[in-house]
Homo-oligomer: A and B are copies of this chain.
Amino acid sequence: MPLPQTEIPGRLQSQLADRGIRMTGQRRAILQVMETATKHLDAAQLLRKAQKLDASVDRSTVYRTLKLLKRQGLIDELDLMHIHGEGHYYERKLNRDHIHMACLRCGKITEFVSDIFEKLKGQVEKDCRFRIVVSRLEIGGYCSGCSK
């Protein structure tokens, strides 16, 4: 579940404040939507929801804020195997990376945390002497319900 149960609400705001980044009404609205989202949102959905909190939020501000959060390493950008078009989806970066599985039939997105994934990243860092900043493992296939 993308909902960060273990995280303090408003955390994104304070993380930006800690970095000395200016807070605005529009950013507050966008961050609040990201923090309370129960599923992966694309930029258009994020815009619509943010406008319900602050009607002045513009599309370009959403994109600019997403770019900021990406640069700060606070969110991850996902493709979800492009199951629903070419756009991107966003989610807060939490402590543990997880795998995203997209069902090619019903479109359901499942998340999965694995120690083997952590081990694999360790191997890449060690064997390739590659310092990992972001990693994204997306899998397309058929979920348990659809593969029958």
Q: What is the oligomeric copy number?
A: 2
Give A residues with C-beta under 8 Å from B.
Answer: 77, 79, 81-82, 99, 101, 103-104, 110, 112, 114, 116-117, 119-121, 123-124, 127-144, 147
- 13 CB < 8 A contacts A-B: A99-B120, A104-B133, A110-B130, A112-B124, A114-B120, A116-B123, A129-B144, A130-B139, A130-B142, A130-B147, A135-B137, A136-B138, A136-B139
A135 pairs with B134, CB closer than 8 A: no
Chain B: which residue is nearest A147 at the CB level?
A: B131
A131 to B110, CA, bound (A): 13
On whether A137 and B140 interact (CB within 8 A), knowing A101-B124, A114-B120, A124-B112, the answer reads no
Cβ-closest chain B residue relative to A139? B135
State whether A136 touches B134 (Cβ < 8 A).
Answer: no
Please report the C-alpha to C-alpha distance between residue A139 and residue B124 in the assembled complex, in whole angstroms: 9
Complex Cα–Cα for A132 and B133 (A): 26
Q: Are B123 and A114 in contact (CB under 8 A)?
A: yes
